[in-house]
Amino acid sequence: MEENQYLCNFSHTFLLENFSEIKKFKEIQNCFYYIDFEKKFDKAKEIEPDINIESFFGRENEFESNFDLIDDFIKPNINLISENELKRFIIEVKERSLFTKQQKEGFSLFVNDYLEKNREKIKLVDFLNDNIKKDIYSQIGIIKSKLKKYIANPYPNLRRKLEFNWNKTDIEALFYLLKKNKILNNPTSADIGNIIDSSFKYLKDREYEDIINSRKDITDFENEKGLTKAILRLKEAFTNEDFYNH
């Protein structure tokens, strides 16, 4: 269903709180009435092509739209609740300058409290049937899931890991040498392993694979295991004059 941008703002209408008490539910009813009015007007124009909106006022009950509040308006748009609540959360995060994951998690506690309070209110209302209530409860679960995903990764379209056209050992060897030669400020093997595993992929059989347990490999390098061939490949890569073309 298309939103009437002048009379009915779906992003403000389909919010959880508007289903929690009759006074706020009127926001949804008013939006429904606007759309129902338009449908009846369209029906009237089929019968009376010359009718205009001014002459139609007061006659809307003469025409049937067969447009039902629950089945034709609320149910088809129920998923907008989770979409709109997530959008509202993101707007609040930006307006409050909540940049870190911890700050977002802290604010999400407030939002979860809002969700649960409205769940309890919706349980008690008598203007929604049980099926719609179940759909709304499902939306609450979806909202919580979307909040967790957003907090974990606010920019899902950005690549999470850099893809090296190298093998796994060479990537690990590079960071081991940066550590050994004190180019990095005294990280532990665990520090480097965690960064490599969480930040990079390596090329294997034309596919990029996650790096796992690189901490162990770096510890082996410290014991002079498996490093010699990797160093030769790194020397070849970094002494190649083409590498420095820009």
The residue type of 173 is: A
Let me know: does 119 contact 140? Beta carbons within 8 Å.
yes
Mean pLDDT (the chain, rounded)? 91
Q: Domain boundaries in the chain? A: 10-152, 162-239
Tens-place pLDDT, residues 26-75: 999 999 999 999 999 999 999 999 999 899 988 988 998 889 999 999 99
Tens-place pLDDT, residues 210-235: 999 999 999 999 887 778 999 999 99
Strand partners, 134: none
| φ and ψ at residue 164, rounded to 5 degrees | -85, 140
Neighbours of 18 (CB within 10 A): 20
* Alpha-carbon dihedral angle through residues 93, 99, 105, 106, given to the nearest 10 degrees: -80
Tens-place pLDDT, residues 117-135: 999 999 999 999 999 999 9
Alpha carbons 93 and 114: distance in angstroms, whole number: 16
Residue 160: its pLDDT value, please?
A: 76
Residue 133: its pLDDT value, please?
A: 98
